[in-house]
Chains A and B, each alone.
Chain A
Amino acid sequence: AQSVAQPEDQVNVAEGNPLTVKCTYSVSGNPYLFWYVQYPNRGLQFLLKYITGDNLVKGSYGFEAEFNKSQTSFHLKKPSALVSDSALYFCAVRDGRNTPLVFGKGTRLSVIA
């Protein structure tokens, strides 16, 4: 069975500082990994994905994520946080087959000016 863990319910960071939102996963085969962002009362917006290749994936709005197979992690990062980055972030995984994404419980990011 596939699963995703986001160990932090809330992450607080000062504007201009780097941010990291953590994600670990468990799948039986090769993982396909995704990050989404959700603003209040809105649907989820796709940020980036890892399928294969370079372990550092770049996505929308300056976000990037690093795939680490040995640690089964896919942490989301941004070098310099903006107040507008404040939102709910979800990590998701699929085992490569044509199956639905399995989501973590989400991490609320708060960027303080």
Chain B
Amino acid sequence: DGGITQSPKYLFRKEGQNVTLSCEQNLNHDAMYWYRQDPGQGLRLIYYSQIVNDFQKGDIAEGYSVSREKKESFPLTVTSAQKNPTAFYLCASRTSGGLYEQYFGPGTRLTVT
């Protein structure tokens, strides 16, 4: 899992509550990503950031928000507007440029009841 930290590993919340997932990297990577993984659906992109103070929506951004105030950190907030938030959330980062692979964190499993 390299130099990417996601905390906590397991997170439980009640429906209607916002929750923030942490992602920190010490790889000096410019770009960071958030994916959601559901069984049989692969990885779907939520948000990504190519540089500090800038981010773009991915394919399933509704109900989520992010910030990128520091190069090392890219927290994801799952809001109460997200209709089906229970999932495995993966953060990734990489050096800018198309040649390079993304490195992934260990993931956070969020359960909302």
Chain A residues packing against B (C-beta within 8 Å): 9, 32, 34, 36, 41-46, 49, 51, 90, 94-106
Contacts and interface: CB of A to CB of B under 8 A. Distances in A.
A32 B98 contact: yes
Contact of A100 (B1, B4, B58, B107): B58
B58 to A, nearest CB: 7
Contact count band on B: 20 to 34
11 contacts: A43-B1, A43-B90, A44-B43, A46-B103, A51-B99, A90-B42, A95-B98, A100-B33, A105-B41, A105-B42, A106-B42
B104 interface: yes
A44 B90 contact: yes
A95 B90 CA distance: 22
A43 B107 contact: yes
Contacts of B33: 100
Contacts of A102: 45
Interface in B9-56: 31, 33, 35, 40-43, 45, 48, 50
